[in-house]
Each structure stands twice: as C-alpha cells, then as structure tokens.
Amino acid sequence: MAINAFIFDLDGVLTDTAEYHYLAWSALANELAVPFDRDDNEQLKGVDRMGSLDYILKKGNVNLTEQQKLTLADKKNLHYQQLINDMSPKDLFEGVTELFAQLKQQNINIGLASASKNAQMVLERLGIADQFDYVADAAKVAQGKPHPEIFLTVAEAFFLPADQCVGIEDSIAGLQSIVSAKMHSVGIGQPEVLYQADVVYADIKSFNLQQVLALA
C-alpha cells in the first residue's frame, strides 16, 4: 500500500523552539525555587504543557491546586509566546522547503501533530502555515503523546488508514505515539535514542524521501 501522508512533529523536526521552551520553563522553575537544567528540558520533549509543569512540580516537591497549576501554565505560555514572536522563516531548518516541495509534487498529504497549542502561531512565523493540509495540536486532542491520538487524528482527517501514513518525530514520547498508531516511523536525531523508528536521520536535510516511501 502506498504512503499518502507525512505527519510531522514541529519542535526539533521543522524548527527549534526547544531553546524558547527551556528559557520559559527555567524562569518559572526559578520562581518556584526548583532546580531546572537542560537535561530536565530534554525530559519535556514531546510532553504537553500541563505534563511539563507536573514534572517540575514533582521534582521540587511542590504541591498546588489545579487552579494554581493553570495560572502557572498560562504564565509560562505567555512568556513563551513573547519569545517566539520574533521567529521568522530564517528559523526553519534547512531542507524543509525542499522536502515539502517533493511531497507536493507527488500529491502526498502534509500534516502536523504537535504537542504545542502555539503550533499555528509558529507555522505562521516560519511562513509555512499554507503548506499543511491539516494541523492537529494539543487543543484538538484529549490525550497527549505518547498516546497515539494526535497522529490518528491527522490520519482520520485525511481519511487514510494508519499504514498509509508516515510520522516524523525527534522525541521518544512522540515516536512511541507513532508506533502505537501503527504508522511508519522516521526519527530525527540520534539512532541510539530513537531506536524504535523504522529509519533515523540526523536532520531533515538528510531526509531520503525514496527510502521512506519504500517502507510501505
């Protein structure tokens, strides 16, 4: 069966907003007097906002009400939005534009499965919002990664079975989401970390479309 859709994660695959997330979470953790470093930030890859906040609170043994958590999550998000406001097409990873052109040429659907509720805003800043046939973000699903819901939501929007879709991820949680959805999987990053993927590339620039299409 041919592959008819490529479903991309955003952070770490098409652009790098990880630094902005790190700065925003680090500032919040500092307010709470919770130690937070880049290793902690790696643990938050692919995890939604409330899950990330819970990680920080648990690390610092901080107990808060649900309302207090929501207030802090909103505060972090506002800080993050201020940071990404200056993003532009120059922040798009090398190779993305060329890969999208190849997919369009072959009439393959392009979807997004992002844990971020700010995904649409980032796509617009990057100048690629119009390249996507469907965008699923944290606002459209009940279950975050590693649950498969977000990838399956995109497949359903395309009226395609999972085995006609390829998911592209840089995080372990995201890759688990793709595998659970029973889609073909591409990892972006280190093979020893993303060993569950069908194929792994160091970055999008290294992406071999024909090799991936041959997975079907």
- Tell whether 86 is in a known binding site: no
- Tell whether 170 is in a known binding site: yes
- Tell whether 70 is in a known binding site: no
Buried b (16+ CB within 10 A) or exposed e, 122-145: bbebbebeebbbbbbbbebbeebb
- Tell whether 213 is in a known binding site: no
Catalytically annotated residue among 11, 54, 133, 137? 11
Furthest CA-CA distance within the chain: 53
- Tell whether 189 is in a known binding site: no
- Tell whether 57 is in a known binding site: no
List CB contacts of 149: < 8 A, sequence separation 6 or more. 141, 142, 143
- Residue 9: active-site member: yes
- Tell whether 118 is in a known binding site: yes
Query: Position of tokens 């395609």?
Result: 160
- Residue 133: active-site member: no
- Tell whether 154 is in a known binding site: no
How far are the Cα atoms of 96, 104, 110, 194 from residue 101, in angstroms, in the given order? 9, 5, 11, 26
Catalytically annotated residue among 9, 37, 54, 198? 9
Which positions are catalytic? Answer: 9, 11
Residues contributing to the annotated binding site for Mg(2+): 9, 11, 169-170
Residues contributing to the annotated binding site for substrate: 9-11, 25, 44-49, 52, 76, 114-118, 145
Residues contributing to the annotated binding site: 9-11, 25, 44-49, 52, 76, 114-118, 145, 169-170
